[in-house]
């Protein structure tokens, strides 16, 4: 636990104002809640509510200190999940192997990295694993507690929808007699309903209901993360160049979108196993398939259900963090494999320590390899300050979150933003020049910011950045004329109406 906490502190980018765009959202909601304004209350408000409770006792002059507080809370919750993984693992393996499983979770680079961003995953994993721990006790009191944690997980992320299915399976196959089942339903279901009550009473306008949105996208409203990750697949459905105006986008069907989402989820599933779980999980899966009791079958069911419900989510938000919950499950499966192979070996403690040492080294190397370019991010923050100070009007494109950071006004509650600049970005992918013109004119946008990196929301931006031969977009800024060593960005003015 200590090692995991230290690694989280070391690899936290404290110098960055906002480690992710979502951290700005959580800061805004939490700050407003702590000051008695609940206009932004929504169906996943448990995380900002927890942060807001801490904010009540803290007053800072600098917004970055509030953001650092969010990161600290996230790191703390991720760290206390380590002993939860330990007690959960004891359902399946002996104590020392459960300790090994919790250690694998503690040093996992994906869990460490995500915990430093201050997002919902740390809390969701804590609540979900805790609920599974109690449900697998198979008795009245613990199952009631498990239902309570299911409700809290629901108030954190909609992904918790798989947990009621697990509860139902346990209730049907493991709880006896019928009177006990009825008692659990009579007592437990009202508790669950009360806790998830906000999900049903808060208007949908305050929250983007992911599962309701899966079939409501038009031909462009598909997760930007699905584009350009596999050009072979895109060619098979008739799209050879997403940045051209002749991209046959109308050929994309709902089936194509779900196929791409499935493939992207498989890619991310493989990535969650890096850098060390990949050497143990496949053998562990084979082991629990060969010698499986009810609890191990629940492990299988948990993995399958969670992955299946993630596929629709990937159609609108294809991000690795959607699958992070599976990592503690993979850690348990890895420990199950090792127990089956080395338990009877005399020096098994030394083997476990040696494997864990290698895993720690590989995790640190992986974190160093995958860490953000702090110098580049700081240059982006400087660019955001420059734009906020020197431009006016409606704006879209790359790096706009860095502009938005500098428009925050905390003097009033709720927090608002300077109306000098309005940021308007689409929630879908713009793949052609014609689509860009339509969006900019339809929203009266004055400027578009384009950097040199591929943004899957705007494949057309690469052509505009490098070719600059679009007469209706006039370049008014180029970072090469400023003292930026890494940042390459341009600003174009909208001349579509000229």
Q: What is the mean pLDDT of residues 226-253?
A: 52
Looking at residue 392, what DSSP letter applies? -
Q: Are 66 and 54 in contact (CB under 8 A)?
A: no
pLDDT > 80? residue 248: no
What value does the mean pLDDT of the chain take? 87
Q: Choose the weakest-confidence range: 75-79, 374-378, 428-432.
A: 428-432
8-state DSSP, 487: -
The confidence score (pLDDT) of residue 150 equals 97
Three-class SS of residue 58? Answer: coil
- Tokens 């970055």 -> residue: 64
The mean pLDDT value for 280-296 works out to 93
Confidence of residue 329 (pLDDT cuts 50, 70, 90): very high
Give the mean pLDDT of 256-262.
Answer: 84
Nearest C-alpha neighbor of 263 from the set 236, 229, 239, 240: 229
pLDDT, residue 218, reads 41
Please state whether the peptide bond connecting residue 290 to the residue before it is cis, i.e. omega within 30 degrees of 0: no
Token readout for 100 is 């090994």
Please give the pLDDT value at position 210: 41
Residue whose pair of structure tokens reads 């943004």 in the numeric block: 455
> Look-up: residue for tokens 């929808």?
161
Tell me the pLDDT tens digit for each residue of 184-214.
999 999 999 999 886 666 655 444 444 433 3
Confidence of residue 242 (pLDDT cuts 50, 70, 90): very low
Who's near 446: CB < 8 A, 6+ residues apart? 392, 393, 394, 395, 493, 494
H helix count then E strand count, the chain: 22, 7
- Domain positions in the chain are 2-212+253-370, 374-494
Among 103, 140, 135, 100, smallest CA distance to 295 is for 135
Write down the pTM of the prediction: 0.91
Residue 231 has pLDDT above 90, yes or no: no
Strands 416-417 and 447-451: unpaired
Quick: pLDDT tens for 7-18: 999 999 999 988
CA distance 316 to 211: 10
Give mean pLDDT, residues 240-261: 62
Q: Place 327 in a pLDDT band, splitting at 50, 70 and 90.
A: very high
């Amino acid at each position: 636990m200590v090692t995991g906490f230290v690694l989280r502190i070391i690899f936290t980018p404290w110098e960055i104002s906002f480690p992710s765009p979502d951290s700005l959202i959580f800061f805004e909601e939490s700050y407003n809640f702590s000051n008695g304004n609940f206009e932004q209350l929504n169906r996943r408000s448990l995380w900002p509510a927890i942060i807001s409770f801490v904010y009540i006792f803290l007053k800072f002059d600098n917004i970055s200190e509030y953001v650092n507080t969010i990161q600290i809370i996230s790191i703390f919750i991720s760290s206390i999940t380590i002993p939860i993984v330990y007690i959960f693992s004891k359902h399946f393996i002996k104590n020392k192997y459960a300790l090994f499983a919790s250690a694998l979770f503690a040093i996992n680079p994906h869990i460490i990295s995500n915990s430093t961003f201050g997002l919902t995953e740390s809390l969701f994993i804590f609540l979900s694993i805790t609920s599974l721990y109690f449900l697998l006790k198979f008795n009245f009191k613990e199952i009631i507690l498990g239902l309570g944690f299911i409700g809290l997980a629901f108030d954190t992320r909609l992904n918790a929808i798989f947990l009621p299915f697990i509860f139902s399976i346990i209730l049907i196959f493991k709880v006896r007699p019928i009177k006990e089942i009825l008692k659990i339903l009579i007592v437990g279901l009202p508790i669950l309903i009360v806790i998830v009550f906000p999900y049903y009473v808060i208007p949908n306008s305050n929250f983007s209901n992911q599962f309701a949105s899966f079939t409501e996208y038009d031909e462009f409203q598909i997760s930007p993360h699905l584009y350009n990750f596999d050009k072979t697949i895109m060619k098979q459905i008739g799209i050879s160049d997403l940045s051209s105006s002749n991209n046959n986008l109308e050929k994309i069907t709902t089936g194509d979108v779900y196929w791409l989402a499935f493939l992207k989820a498989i890619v991310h599933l493989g990535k969650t196993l890096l850098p060390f779980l990949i050497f143990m999980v496949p053998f562990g899966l084979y082991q629990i398939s060969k010698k499986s009791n009810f609890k191990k079958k629940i492990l299988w069911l948990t993995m399958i259900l969670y992955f299946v419900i993630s596929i629709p989510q990937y159609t609108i938000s294809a991000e690795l963090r959607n699958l992070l919950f599976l990592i503690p499950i993979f850690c348990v499966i890895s420990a199950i494999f090792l127990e089956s192979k080395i338990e009877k070996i005399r020096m098994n403690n030394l083997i476990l320590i040696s494997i864990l040492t290698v895993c720690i080294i590989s995790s640190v190397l992986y974190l160093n390899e995958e860490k953000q370019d702090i110098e580049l991010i700081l240059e982006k923050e400087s660019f955001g300050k420059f734009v906020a100070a020197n431009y006016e009007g409606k704006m879209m494109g790359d790096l706009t979150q860095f502009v938005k950071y500098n428009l925050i006004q905390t003097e009033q509650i709720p927090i608002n933003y300077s109306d000098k600049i309005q940021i308007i970005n689409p929630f879908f992918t713009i793949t052609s020049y014609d689509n860009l013109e339509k969006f900019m004119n339809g929203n009266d946008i004055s400027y578009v910011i384009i950097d040199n990196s591929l943004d899957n929301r705007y494949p057309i931006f690469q052509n505009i950045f490098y070719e600059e031969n679009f007469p209706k977009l006039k370049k008014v800024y180029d970072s090469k004329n400023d003292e930026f060593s890494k940042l390459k960005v341009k600003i174009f003015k909208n001349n579509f109406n000229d």
